[in-house]
Structure 1
């Protein structure tokens, strides 16, 4: 059974009425922003379950937009996120999906388009007390929280890829807390997710990109 700290009981330092619907929403969007490789031009938030039903009353919409602007859960600017997004030229929209019910009740899927035309779709869930999980990237099931420094490598499912990634980490003395591989199917697109309890050196990303089967490398630094 996982341990629970006093901070899990009290909840996060936050703006808004709900740790799940406000702080969790900020945290999800901020993680997604960190994953996206470029500058976001347009973002669509697809809301499910209780997020879809109460997002305006609980400020989930302002929270998601605030996270996409780079705000932490306690940032007072979240209250003005609509205005600030418009001032920055960020195009945004909110869509509710109450037909799909086989999802966690606090679920949002974020579709991002960059200024260079790049597109990414990320699904996250708010699991309570301000804690969140990323559960899907571009249609592939994943599972990580962003509580550790996290390296996400998109690559083809090819023999030796895990060994290559592990070797690159070892050569730079990066301690691996968790490492998992997720894939669509054999030989298709896969995501290797590496979580470390220390800072991951930036130059590691360029080394990983040297492999011909690596398509993209994303980093969430804690």
Structure 2
């Protein structure tokens, strides 16, 4: 495994007790909130294997809640996140799921409000690092360690080119990019990790590009 800095080895600045079960869980929750674009009104959180067995003792429950509230991993409110969520009108249900998964620290978050809903699968891979492996039924690989743009679009000729042309115009470098679709000619998901946070003006321009349906971002 390649480490970029000493902090990748010792883990993130965080409220404990565990980088995998607490900091990683918080980042999964925060990714879900960022992609949803607002605080949800409710959340159903399915926990698997190690997460399911130890989530109360290792703080995975309050960490996921803290992420959904927008807390960073070192936020002093993290340990009280379940109470704060209740006070803020965020109803959270934790479900221990025995289904087989590819990683023991896996969580599936289904969040929503009266208008919108989002489903996300995240895994905590150690040292506070996470990967988002599924979004609304699309398989993807999103590290959460870099700013990213997620673009839902029609699977049509020119959609990808119209997006990359706008990013190039604004001198935004692409670090990783992948495109997934459920079927030919249907909706597709473009996942683009970039080197810097993307301004709202650029997002507005992207929304007007050819065949674009919806855009979400993750900032760092």
TM above 0.5: yes
> Of residues 167, 170, 185 in structure 1, which corresponds to 2:168?
170
Tell me the alpha carbon deviations over residues 140-181 of structure 1, each in whole angstroms, 9 at most, x when there is no partner: 101111211101101121111111110111122211122211
Specify the alignment match of 1:34 in structure 2: 34
Distance in 1 (CA, whole Å) between partners of 2:181 and 2:168 is 23
Partners of 1:124 and 1:29 lie apart in 2 by 9
Identify unmatched segments of 5+ residues in structure 1.
none
Q: Kindly indicate whether residue 210 of structure 2 is the aligned counterpart of residue 208 of structure 1.
A: no
What is the CA–CA distance in structure 2 between the aligned matches of 1:91 and 1:199, rounded to whole Å? 31
User: Equivalents in 2 of 1:68, 1:183: separation in Å?
Assistant: 27
Question: Secondary structure at the residue paired with 1:147?
Answer: coil
Report the equivalent of 1:123: 121
Whether 1:97 and 2:97 are equivalent positions in the alignment is yes
Contact 1:140 1:184 (8 Å CA) reproduced: yes
Distance change (3 Å), C-alpha of 1:130 and 1:39? closer
- Distance of 1:32 and 1:97 partners within structure 2: 19
Cα distance in 2, alignment partners of residues 15 and 70 from structure 1: 14
CA shift, 1:4, in A, is 5.4
Name the TM-score, length of structure 1 as normaliser. 0.94
Counterpart-to-counterpart distance in 2, 1:108 and 1:96: 10
Q: CA deviation at 1:101?
A: 1.2
On the 8 A contact 2:156/2:211 being kept in 1, the answer is yes
Runs of 4 or more off by more than 3 Å in structure 1? Answer: none
Q: Is the 8 A contact 1:48 1:103 kept in 2?
A: no
Aligned residues: 220
1:188 to partner: Cα distance: 2.1
Counterpart-to-counterpart distance in 1, 2:109 and 2:167 = 30
Q: Which runs of 5+ in 2 are unaligned?
A: none
Check the 8 A contact 2:109/2:121 in 1, yes or no: yes
Structure 1's 3 and 90: CA in aligned 2 closer, same or farther, altered over 3 A?
A: closer
Aligned to 2:153: 155
User: Residues 163 and 212 from structure 1, CA distance in 2 versus in 1: closer, same or farther, beyond 3 angstroms?
Assistant: closer
Normalising by structure 2, report the TM-score: 0.95
Aligned partners of 2:187, 2:96: CA distance in 1, in Å?
Answer: 29
| Residue 185 (structure 1) shift | 2.3
1:124 positional shift? 0.5
How far 1:212 moved relative to its partner? 5.6
Q: 1:10: how far off?
A: 1.1
Instruction: Give distance in 1, aligned partners of 2:162 and 2:133.
Output: 25
**SS at structure 2 position matched to 1:194:** strand
Instruction: Name the residue aligned to 2:139.
Output: 141
SS state at 1:177 partner? strand
